[in-house]
Structure 1
Amino acid sequence: MLPPAPPSGRFDGAVHLFPVRVYFEDTDLSGVVYHANYLRWFERARSDMLRCLGIDQRGAHDAGEGAYAVTDLAIRYLRPARLDDAVLVRSHVSDISPATCRIVQRAFREDALLSQATVRVAFVAPTGRPRRQPRAWVDAFHTVLVAPSEATSSEQEGPISA
């Protein structure tokens, strides 16, 4: 018998959906999710989004082409998540340049927005210097790029069920 596959997300249009369950280890002494765990959930959701787009980060790293590095991160906490909550991380690409990509991520519990982050990642050579992303990756990002007007209206919406 094969083991179950790890949790995975999916795209609904240009928005990547990634479900997360809050476990005891995610909470702090007060019983709410520790602030740094939102960053871990957002990182997992971004990695899964790239995998769903066909972007092979490990292959690029192993081939000596480079890897993504976070160059800018802004996060806002609005409501706490608690033990056993089902959280849905919604991610979308909001900006692309030859070397960077900006991704907006939101964590929801049902209709309640819990946290929001904007992350800019840069593709860097093994030396740490910025370099152009592989063209196929830029093309993949363009297939799910959310226009600024769409991003503004999507902020008003509730979550999409997974």
Structure 2
Amino acid sequence: MSGELTSPSRNVPLFSWPTRVYWEDTDAGGVVYHAQYVAFLERARTEWLRANGHHQEQLRNEHDLVFVVRAMTLDFLRPARLDDLLQVQLGLRQCKRASVIFVQRLLRGEELLLEAEVKVACLAASSFKPKALPEPLYEEFKSFESP
């Protein structure tokens, strides 16, 4: 996974979302609790959707579509700590009809703290069965792909 989001030769479209580490994110030692990283990654994916004009509630109401995490690989490289200002980056690696694979990284300044690959399944909100992305959304997501 290393280096895939910052390689200038790949021309990867990046999205970056800032977040601050609060007391509630940490353990007794002031280090971010491992499960909290998942929340940071989730928020960045939600904000990426929003930045591209797609609100999850709107997708659910108008297209009967929700996104759920199907698989996730996390590589914890260095700890984040209380009051750190972090950047959560993401790129879209692959879009299929009913799934999307994101590559994400968490940085403190230039220091890489975490790398992740997140496979998100597209489901019908009414049945929680796999559902193809609406064609315009699929085409848009495909345009963001960067292997």
Q: Distance in 2 between matches of 1:78 and 1:123?
A: 30
Query: Given the two structures, how large is their TM-score scaled by the length of structure 2?
Result: 0.86
Letter in 2 for 1:141: F
- Secondary structure of the 1:63 match is helix
| Aligned twin of 1:57 | 56
CA contact (8 A) 2:17 2:88 kept: yes
- Secondary structure of the 1:20 match is strand
Q: Trace 1:111-130 onto structure 2 (pairs within 5 A).
A: 111-125=110-124, 126-130=126-130
| Aligned twin of 2:30 | 31
Q: Distance in 2 between matches of 1:103 and 1:37?
A: 18
Q: Distance in 2 between matches of 1:64 and 1:45?
A: 22
Q: What is the CA-CA distance between 1:116 and the residue it aligns to?
A: 1.3
Q: Does 1:78 align with 2:81?
A: no
Q: Distance in 2 between matches of 1:56 and 1:31?
A: 33
**Residues 91-149 of structure 1, C-alpha deviation per residue, up to 9 Å, x if partnerless?**
00000101110001100011211111111111111211101011121122123221x2x
- Secondary structure of the 1:115 match is strand
Query: Given the two structures, how large is their TM-score scaled by the length of structure 1?
Result: 0.79
Letter in 2 for 1:33: V
Q: Distance in 2 between matches of 1:142 and 1:53?
A: 13
Q: What is the CA-CA distance between 1:87 and the residue it aligns to?
A: 0.5
How many residues are paired up?
A: 136
CA contact (8 A) 1:77 1:114 kept: yes
Q: What is the CA-CA distance between 1:64 and the residue it aligns to?
A: 5.8
Letter in 2 for 1:127: S
Aligned-pair identity (%): 36
What 5-or-longer segments of structure 2 have no aligned partner?
A: 1-10
Q: Which runs of 4+ in 1 moved over 6 A?
A: none
- Secondary structure of the 1:72 match is strand
Q: Distance in 1 between matches of 2:55 and 2:140?
A: 12
CA contact (8 A) 2:86 2:107 kept: yes
Letter in 2 for 1:85: D
| Aligned twin of 2:141 | 141
Q: Does 1:18 align with 2:5?
A: no
CA contact (8 A) 1:15 1:144 kept: no
Letter in 2 for 1:79: R
- Secondary structure of the 1:131 match is coil
CA contact (8 A) 1:32 1:83 kept: yes
- The CA RMSD measured in Å over matched residues stands at 1.6
Letter in 2 for 1:138: Y
| Aligned twin of 2:41 | 42
